């Protein structure tokens, strides 16, 4: 694992899954403007596993949201899988995200009224995949939930819910997986098991991984680590 302060600029555009260029995020509160991110620059080559580490409130989740085009920066540019995100309108950004990105979140973000199978089928159905059911069944079997297909999230443990979330993220064969504190809601043993599974699926599919975490042991499993402090990349 290496901890970087300034990313190398030697990679060509075609080599990059992500290219973040001078991204800042400023919001207003009762005290006036508040800068959450300060001109962040970062390149992530295709196939790399990258951890973004930092304390709570450091800006790491905001950076991940901007990388995915879920939020819009005050200044700067993000190129995701060859597309400059903020040259697109919101609908086009969502469509680009659906084709190229899988997500795993701390709070799972499963749809409560859908079964495990239906949750995993959903992104495939949105892409018009006619094999959504069989692909979702296979992926749930891969994460050890072949016997839980019909269970809704409320009937699943936290670890099982995160396995459903992993299945949903990987079932579309994403070019890049973005994970935001994926073990934050799990006990240590369950979290370790989930991380083993996530890294195994990532290797199998050759996916680029961007992982936000405050856990340095988890970060150490990635090829590269960058640290963010008070909205700035630092060592």
| Residues of the chain below pLDDT 70 | 1-13, 235
* DSSP at 87: G
Residue 78 half-sphere exposure toward CB, CA atoms < 13 A: 26
Token readout for 82 is 């060859």
For the 2-234 domain, the top CATH level (class) is alpha beta
Q: CA-CA distance, 174 to 56, in Å (whole number)?
A: 28
Compute CA distances 219 → 83, 147, 168, 199, 211, whole Å. Answer: 27, 32, 23, 12, 8
What pLDDT digit, counting tens, does each position of 59-92 carry? 899 999 999 999 999 999 999 999 999 999 999 9
Q: With a threshold of 0.75, does the pTM exceed it?
A: yes
Q: 66-82: b or e for each residue (b if 16 or more CB lie within 10 Å)?
A: bbbbbeebeebebbbbe
Token readout for 216 is 């340095």
Give the angle 55-57-62 at the CA atoms, nearest 5°.
110
Token readout for 106 is 């701390």
- Cβ-based neighbours of 196, under 8 Å, separated by 6 or more: none
Handedness of CA 198, 174, 43, 234 (dihedral sign): negative
The alpha carbon of 104 is separated from its chain's Cα centroid by a whole number of angstroms, namely 6
Provide the 10 A C-beta neighbour count for residue 53. 22
Query: Residue 188: what are its φ and ψ, rounded to 5°?
Result: -60, -50
What pLDDT digit, counting tens, does each position of 202-216 carry? 999 999 999 999 889
């Amino acid at each position: 694992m290496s901890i970087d302060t300034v990313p190398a600029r030697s990679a060509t555009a075609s080599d990059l899954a992500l290219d973040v260029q001078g991204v800042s995020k400023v919001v207003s509160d009762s005290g006036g403007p508040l800068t959450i991110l300060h001109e962040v620059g970062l390149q992530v080559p295709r196939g790399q596993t990258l951890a973004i580490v930092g304390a709570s409130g450091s800006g790491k989740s905001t950076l991940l949201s901007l990388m995915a085009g879920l939020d819009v920066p005050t200044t700067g540019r993000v190129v995701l899988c060859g597309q400059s995100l903020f040259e697109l309108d919101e609908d086009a950004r969502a469509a680009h995200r659906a084709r190229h990105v899988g997500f795993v979140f701390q709070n799972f973000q499963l749809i409560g009224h859908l079964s495990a199978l239906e949750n995993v089928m959903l992104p495939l159905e949105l892409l018009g995949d006619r094999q959504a059911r069989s692909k979702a069944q296979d992926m749930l079997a891969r994460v050890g939930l072949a016997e839980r297909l019909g269970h809704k999230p409320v009937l699943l443990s936290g670890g099982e819910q995160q396995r459903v979330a992993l299945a949903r993220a990987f079932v579309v064969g994403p070019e890049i997986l973005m994970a935001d504190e994926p073990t934050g809601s799990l006990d240590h043993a369950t979290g370790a098991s989930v991380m083993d599974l996530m890294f195994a699926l990532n290797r199998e599919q050759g996916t680029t991984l961007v992982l936000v975490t405050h856990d340095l042991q988890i970060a150490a499993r990635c090829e590269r680590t960058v640290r963010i402090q008070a909205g700035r990349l630092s060592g």
